[in-house]
Copies of this chain bind each other. A is one copy, B any other.
Amino acid sequence: MSAPARVAATASKSQLAYEWLHDRIVSGSLAPGARLVLAQVAAELDVSVVPVREAVRRLEAEGLVTFEKNIGATVAGIDPVEYLYTMQTLSIVEGAATALSAHAVGPSDIATARAVNARMRAMAEDPQHFDPVQFTRLNHEFHSVLFEHCPNPHILDLVHRGWNRLTALRGSTFSFVPERAGESVAEHEGLLALIERGASSEEIELAARRHRSATLDAYLASTGAHPNFPVL
């Protein structure tokens, strides 16, 4: 009778709304551009609009939704320019996080990452069963192992936000540029080798950054976008 409601005993309504919306956005249930009507969301969750407003504000601060005065909220996304900005930002903060994290990445982490990369390789080498969404998920898993030990929580938070935005944008770069998958897997192995042999922070950071920049470049090339954008 009250079983399902038990779990969220200590969660505030505002937190509930935030998590609900967040999950739906990153999972894609709420497509980019979708309108978020406060009253509707409130009714769906059986709460009033006030907590929902707060949740939307927080999501706005994270860049997952846009919000206009007297107009309403919509799920952010789509815009290729936003994608570019997000990828570029992520290349910088993720590179830094990976470098800062490297010294704490142990053999077991390396093994985990290598196992994930093996699955990615298998998928990349078999065009028949290549699934961009799944591949992107594995990609996220791989990189998470490498940057998750970053001792600076601010940087780590920026990395998480970047990934969330990318997921929300639903670019799933590998849908556009499947041929990039193979290179990506190879670069992953190179990154692991660097960490394994205790390379310098600078080397690791540069490699991680280049890896992401290369994915962005591949995307830009595929869309015929201006290559005049200064990529670090």
Contact = CB atoms under 8 A, between A and B. Distances in A.
Nearest to A84: B152
Contacts of A229: 151
**Which size bracket describes the interface of A in this complex?**
20 to 34
Contact of A92 (B1, B12, B93): B93
Interface string A27-67: 00000000000000000000000100110011001110000
Count the copies: 2
Contact of A69 (B12, B92, B100, B152): B12
Contacts of A12: 69
A172 interface: no
Interface stretch (A137-145, A153-161, A178-186): A153-161
A25 to B, nearest CB: 16
A207 B169 CA distance: 34
A229 to B, nearest CB: 8
B201 A89 contact: no
A96 interface: yes
B158 A89 contact: yes
A58 B93 CA distance: 22
Given A10-B69, A54-B54, A201-B230, 14 more contacts: A1-B61, A53-B54, A54-B57, A58-B61, A85-B152, A85-B154, A85-B155, A89-B155, A92-B92, A93-B93, A96-B232, A151-B229, A202-B232, A205-B232
Sort A-B residue pairs by CB-CB distance and give the 9 closest, nearest first.
Answer: A61-B61, A89-B154, A92-B96, A85-B154, A85-B152, A57-B57, A89-B155, A201-B232, A54-B57
Interface of A: 1, 10, 12, 50, 53-54, 57-58, 61-63, 69, 85-86, 88-89, 92-93, 96, 99-100, 103, 151-155, 158, 201-202, 205, 229-230, 232
